[in-house]
Homo-oligomer: A and B are copies of this chain.
Amino acid sequence: MKPQVLKGFRDYLPEEMLPRSRLIAGIKRVFEQHGFAPLDTPALEYAELLLGKYGQEGDKLLFRFLDNGERDVALRYDLTVPLARLLGSNPEILPPFKRYHIAPVWRAEKPARGRFREFMQCDVDIVGVESMSADAEVIATGMEALHAILGAHDTLEASQQRGGKPGFTVRLSNRKLLNGLCLVLGVPDDRAVALFRTLDKLDKQGKEAVAALLTSEVGLDERQVAKTFEYLECPASPNDLGPLDRYFAGVEIAQQGLDEMRQVVQLLEEHRLSHYLAIDPSIARGLDYYTGSIYETTLNGLDGFGSVMSGGRYDKLLDMFTGKATAAVGISVGLDRLLAGLIELKLLGSRASPTDVLVTVFSEETRRFSTEVASGLRKAGVCAELFLGQDKLGKQFRYADRKQIPYAIVCGPDEVAKREVKVKTLASGDEKTIAADKVMSWAQETIR
């Protein structure tokens, strides 16, 4: 029996899981500080509830099967449709409702470097608020989460390499501009989704490939392709939506989208976060359910890496589950891609163990004293590991070295008699002797 990981999946060993778990804790804190309440839904849902929400391609990517009771079920593909289902199942939840959900999702995509079939999403959504204050709130919350994470890890060097740019940029657009584009080009409704999906490939496949697809897949002629690129390359910025304004002169739906974008920019300026914002008309977001604001986020200094935080407004999805029109908007941090990005940018330190101090055990007679020292250290908030087993001190130190544990404490019979401990700094080999009742204050000064 070969102990292999399932194709398309991966393990997270402690070296990756320690920083990953810190990221999750940081994101949770920011989400709660903005008043989002946590919830959790099952990994499995009735398949019929998920089908048709992510486009034909999405349906094919579901992990779908019959359960032991012959029910047609599927693993969740995102956290948005389960939220809609939950609101349908729990009509007592009144809007406005702000929730966050941090959980894995599953998509049977072709595995590629850095792309796996299971990945963790961290979503905030606001249900029942029509005004753009909700769009701004979820974007601001996402920005604050990334700011907290990068702030904790960013280096001056990394910032200089970006030429003083912020660590990330949220690129804003609006589905109503794309609806306007269909009108400008004369693309009928039934080809709109094909158009949006093709535009979505610009980032990964480049201009030429997309131009070819616009002809072959969407059926555009040369003039329409040129007009499409005129839109995609509109030099708009948060302070000047003028170029888009002129492109869409007289196109009402697009003008409405531009007005929404202006409001979101203004609100993010009031949040003092507009320096993280850019306007990017090329954003399309493949998923079918978006109706207004859409946004993606790139880490500056990592070209072609894709979005680490995306989302948008989806005012029609919930109706299918709740039976009534319900405004909704959300943002999702792609935790595993963010983690991969931070590692690539060398912004994450890593260790094999959370342990700060290894408390060695000299002999069976001194073990009780060592146990007490370790327990005291933990009460001081320190990660203190008691060595297990009856190995010689040298082997215990080698264990600490291998696990990158910074300090070891030795309590031999002499130390126990004097109620002292010896503290060894593993990297330098330095040793010093401390009274046992001073160990907690030493640890608080040195480690916390």
List A residues at the B interface (Cβ < 8 Å).
Answer: 1, 3-7, 9-14, 17-18, 20-21, 25, 28, 32-46, 48-49, 60-61, 63, 65-69, 71, 73, 75, 84-90, 93-94, 96, 98-99, 104, 106, 108, 118, 126, 129-131, 133-134, 137, 144, 270-272, 320-322, 352-355, 358, 367-368, 371, 375, 378, 381-386, 388-390, 399, 402
Question: B384 to A33, Cβ gap below 8 A?
Answer: yes
Q: Tell me the complex Cα distance, A85–B4, Å.
A: 7
Question: A89 to B270, Cβ gap below 8 A?
Answer: no
Question: B68 to A40, Cβ gap below 8 A?
Answer: no
Question: B383 to A45, Cβ gap below 8 A?
Answer: no
For residue A45, which residue of chain B has the nearest CB?
B6
Question: B43 to A118, Cβ gap below 8 A?
Answer: yes
Complex interface: chain B residues within 8 A of A37 (CB) = 14, 17-18, 352-354
Known: A32-B354, A144-B378. 6 other contacts (CB 8 A): A3-B88, A4-B46, A43-B118, A69-B108, A94-B402, A134-B389
Give the contacting residue for A35; candidates B44, B384, B389; CB below 8 A: B384
For residue A102, which residue of chain B has the nearest CB?
B21
Question: B6 to A106, Cβ gap below 8 A?
Answer: no
Q: Tell me the complex Cα distance, A250–B388, Å.
A: 31
Minimum distance in angstroms from A70 CB to a CB of chain B: 11
Q: Tell me the complex Cα distance, A347–B3, Å.
A: 43
Report, nearest first, the 4 A-B pairs whose CB atoms are least far apart: A3-B88, A35-B385, A65-B65, A14-B37
Q: Enumerate 26 A-B pairs (CB-CB under 8 Å) in ascending A order.
A: A4-B46, A4-B89, A5-B41, A5-B42, A5-B85, A6-B67, A7-B71, A9-B42, A11-B41, A11-B86, A11-B90, A12-B39, A12-B41, A14-B99, A17-B39, A18-B38, A32-B354, A33-B381, A35-B354, A35-B384, A44-B63, A67-B108, A94-B402, A131-B389, A270-B371, A271-B371
Q: Tell me the complex Cα distance, A93–B67, Å.
A: 36
Q: Tell me the complex Cα distance, A90–B15, Å.
A: 13
Complex interface: chain B residues within 8 A of A9 (CB) = 42, 44
For residue A130, which residue of chain B has the nearest CB?
B389
With A6-B45, A43-B106, A96-B399: A271-B388 Cβ-Cβ less than 8 Å:
no
For residue A30, which residue of chain B has the nearest CB?
B378
